C-alpha cells in the first residue's frame, strides 16, 4: 500500500531535503513555495517527472541533484490519489452500497427504540470512511498536462501558485505542523487562485499529519477544514473562467486542452467535498453556515454531478450519527436527498440494489428519528423547526411508499419538535 510506503518518509524534516529544494529561481520562488515543507509527496512522482519539472526553475545539474535526492516508490508520474490507491475504487454506486451494507447488522438490526438507535449509531460511527472505496476518482497528488490532456486540471493537491515564502520551517513534531498551519492560514491572499493554493497547501499538511499520526486513530482537522474549502471553491467558481481566478497565461495554458474549467470545478467539488467530510464526518467543524452543516451543496454534488444516491445516503447517515449535543442542536436533515425529486428518482434502478437502498434508508431514518427524540429529551430544545418538520414528513412519506409504515414514530417526533424550545 502506497500509504505505508509514504509513512517510511513521513518523519523526514526540512533538514533531510536536498539543498536544491530551497534554491530560488528568477522570480524568487523555490520548490518549498508550493510543495509541502518536507516534500513527502515527491516520493510518488517518477524520477523523470521530478527532473522535468525541476528544470522549469533550476539548472540541469541542480535539477538532477534534486531528483536524485528523492526515493521513488511508484513507477507512475504522480497520479497517486491520497486515500485511494490505484484501482482502489468501487465500480459504481451500487457496489458502494453493497460495501456499506455488507455487515449483517446494518439491515437486520431493526431500530425500534432510542436505546437501539444509540447502539446502531456506535456501529455506524465505527465504520472508517478512510477505508471505504468510493465510485469516483479522488484528486491525485499531482496533475501534469505532460501526461495527457486529461491531466490538464487544477483538481489536484499541489498549489498552483506559491502558498508560502519558501523558507525552511521546523516540522519535527505534531505541534510544529499545527503551528505552521496556523501561520499559513493567517497569510493574506489576493486572488481566488491564491486562496485555492493556500487551502491546497494546508490540505497537504493535514495529509502529512495523517500519514504520521492519523493512521493510528488520530485524525487532525485544521481549523476551517481546508479540504472542504477546496470543494467549496469548485462550487463558488463553478462557471468562472481561469483568467478571472487570477491565473497567469502560463498557468492557464498548463490547465487547458483537457477538461473544461467547468468540468475541473466539478472535479474539485466531488473529490474535495468528500475529502473534507472524511476529516469532519459531522460537518460541525467546517464552518458555521447551515448549508455546510447540512451538507446541502455536497449532496447536490453527489446527486447532480455524479448520480451517486447511495453515497449521499451513507454520508448523511454517518454525518447525522456523528452529531452530538453542544454547539449545535441535533437536526434531522437529509437535505436535497429528501425532496419530491428524490422520491422514486434517485433510487437505484436494478431491483436488488433498490431493495438494499430502501432497507438502508429505512434504518437510517429510524435511527435518526430516535436520535432526534433523544436529543430533544436531553436538551429540551431543537433547531429550525419548520425545515425539520418538512424533512420528517418527507421521510414518513418515503417509508410509506416503500411499504414501511412508521406513522406513529413520525407523528411522535413531529410533536416532540413542535413542543421543544426553538434555538
pLDDT at 198 over 60: yes
Residue 195: per-residue pLDDT: 98
54 close to 35: Cβ distance less than 8 angstroms: no
Instruction: Output the CA angle 218-219-220, nearest 5 degrees.
Output: 115
Number of neighbours of residue 389 by Cβ within 10 angstroms? 15
- Beta bridge partners of residue 77, listed in sequence order: 45
Mean pLDDT of 248-257: 93
3-state secondary structure the chain: CHHHHHHCCCCCCHHHCCHHHHCCCCCCCCHHHHCCCCCHHHHHECHHHHHHHHCCCCCHHHHHHHHHCCCCCCCCECCCCCCCCCCCCCCCHHHHHHHHCCCCHHHHCCCCCHHHHHHHHHHHHHCCHHHCCCCCCCCCCCCCHHHCHHHCCCCCCCCCCCCCCCCCCCCCCHHHHHHHHHHHHCCCCCCHHHHHHHHHHHHHHHHHHHHHCHHHCCCCCCCCCHHHHHHHHHHHCCCCCHHHHCCCHHHHHHCCCCCCHHHHHHHHHHHHHHHHHHHCCCCCCCCCCHHHHCCHHHHHHHHHHCCCHHHHHHHHHHHHHHCCCCCCCCCCCCHHHCCCCCCCCCCCCCHHHHHHHHHHHHHHHHHHHHHHHHHHHHHCEECCHHHHHHHHHHHHHHHHHCCCCCHHHHHHHHHHHHHCEEC
Residue 250: per-residue pLDDT: 92
d(CA 148, CA 168): 33
Which cell numbers in the block locate residue 5?
510506503
Q: What is the largest CA-CA distance in the chain?
A: 76
Q: What is the pTM of this model?
A: 0.94
Which cell numbers in the block locate residue 12?
523526514
14 close to 168: Cβ distance less than 8 angstroms: yes
Share of the chain above pLDDT 90, in %: 69
Place of cell 493556500: 198
pLDDT at 42 over 90: no
Residue 345: per-residue pLDDT: 78
For residue 327, what pLDDT band results from cuts at 50, 70 and 90? low
pLDDT at 214 over 80: no
> Which range among 11-25, 109-123, 231-245 shows the weakest confidence by mean pLDDT?
11-25
285 close to 324: Cβ distance less than 8 angstroms: no
> Which range among 31-45, 270-284, 365-379 shows the weakest confidence by mean pLDDT?
31-45
pLDDT at 70 over 90: no
Which cell numbers in the block locate residue 23?
534554491
Phi, psi (deg, nearest 5) at residue 18 = -65, 145
**Which own/partner contact pairs does 248-253 have at CB distance under 8 Å and 24+ positions apart?**
248/161, 251/160, 251/161, 251/193
Residue 73: per-residue pLDDT: 59
Interval 340-357: pLDDT, tens: 666 667 889 899 999 999
Q: Find, among 309, 281, 279, the residue nearest to 295 by Cα.
A: 281
Interval 263-320: pLDDT, tens: 999 999 999 999 999 999 999 999 989 899 999 999 999 999 999 999 999 999 999 9
Residue 3: per-residue pLDDT: 62
pLDDT at 251 over 90: yes
Q: 287 vs 196, 225, 236, CA distance in Å?
A: 17, 8, 15
Q: 276 vs 58, 184, 194, 239, 296, CA distance in Å?
A: 35, 18, 19, 22, 14
Non-local (6+) Cβ contacts of 298 within 8 A are: 231, 273, 274, 277, 283, 315
d(CA 374, CA 116): 11
d(CA 392, CA 394): 5
Place of cell 471505504: 132
Which cell numbers in the block locate residue 122?
456506535
Dihedral, 11, 15, 21, 27 alpha carbons, nearest 10: 120
Amino acid at each position: 500500500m502506497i500509504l505505508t510506503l509514504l509513512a517510511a518518509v513521513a518523519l523526514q524534516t526540512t533538514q533531510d531535503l536536498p539543498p536544491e529544494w530551497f534554491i530560488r529561481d528568477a522570480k524568487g520562488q523555490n520548490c518549498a513555495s508550493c510543495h509541502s515543507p518536507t516534500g513527502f509527496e515527491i516520493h510518488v512522482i517518477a524520477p523523470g517527472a521530478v527532473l522535468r519539472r525541476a528544470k522549469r526553475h533550476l539548472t540541469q545539474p541542480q535539477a538532477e541533484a534534486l531528483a536524485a535526492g528523492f526515493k521513488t516508490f511508484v513507477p507512475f508520474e504522480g497520479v497517486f490519489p491520497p486515500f485511494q490507491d490505484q484501482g482502489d475504487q468501487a465500480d459504481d454506486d451500487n457496489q458502494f452500497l453493497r460495501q456499506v451494507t455488507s455487515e449483517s447488522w446494518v439491515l437486520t438490526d431493526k431500530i425500534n427504540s432510542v436505546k437501539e438507535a444509540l447502539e446502531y449509531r456506535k456501529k455506524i460511527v465505527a465504520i472508517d470512511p478512510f477505508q471505504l472505496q468510493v465510485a469516483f476518482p479522488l484528486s491525485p497528488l499531482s496533475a501534469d498536462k505532460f501526461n495527457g490532456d486529461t491531466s490538464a486540471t487544477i483538481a489536484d493537491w499541489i498549489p498552483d501558485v506559491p502558498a508560502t515564502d519558501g523558507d525552511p520551517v521546523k516540522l519535527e513534531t505534531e505541534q510544529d505542523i499545527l503551528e505552521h498551519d496556523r501561520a499559513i492560514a493567517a497569510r493574506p491572499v489576493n486572488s481566488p487562485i491564491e486562496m485555492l493554493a493556500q487551502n491546497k497547501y494546508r490540505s497537504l499538511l493535514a495529509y502529512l499529519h495523517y500519514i504520521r499520526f492519523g493512521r493510528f486513530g488520530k485524525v487532525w482537522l485544521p481549523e476551517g477544514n481546508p479540504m472542504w474549502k477546496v470543494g467549496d471553491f469548485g462550487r463558488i467558481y463553478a462557471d468562472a473562467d481561469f483568467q478571472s481566478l487570477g491565473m497567469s497565461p502560463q498557468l492557464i495554458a498548463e490547465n487547458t486542452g483537457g477538461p473544461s474549467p467547468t468540468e475541473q470545478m466539478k472535479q474539485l467539488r466531488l473529490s474535495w467535498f468528500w475529502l473534507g467530510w472524511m476529516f469532519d464526518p459531522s460537518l460541525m467543524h467546517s464552518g458555521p453556515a447551515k448549508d455546510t452543516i447540512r451538507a446541502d451543496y455536497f449532496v447536490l454534488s453527489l446527486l447532480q454531478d455524479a448520480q451517486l444516491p447511495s453515497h449521499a445516503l451513507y454520508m448523511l447517515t454517518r454525518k447525522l450519527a456523528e452529531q452530538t449535543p453542544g454547539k449545535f442542536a441535533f437536526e434531522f436533515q437529509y437535505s436535497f436527498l429528501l425532496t419530491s425529486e428524490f422520491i422514486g428518482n434517485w433510487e437505484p434502478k436494478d431491483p436488488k440494489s433498490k431493495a438494499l437502498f430502501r432497507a438502508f434508508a429505512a434504518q437510517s431514518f429510524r435511527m435518526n428519528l430516535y436520535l432526534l427524540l433523544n436529543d430533544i429529551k436531553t436538551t429540551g430544545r431543537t433547531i429550525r423547526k419548520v425545515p425539520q418538520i418538512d424533512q420528517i414528513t418527507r421521510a414518513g412519506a418515503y417509508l410509506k411508499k416503500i411499504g414501511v409504515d412508521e406513522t406513529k414514530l413520525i407523528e411522535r417526533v413531529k410533536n416532540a419538535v413542535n413542543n421543544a424550545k426553538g434555538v
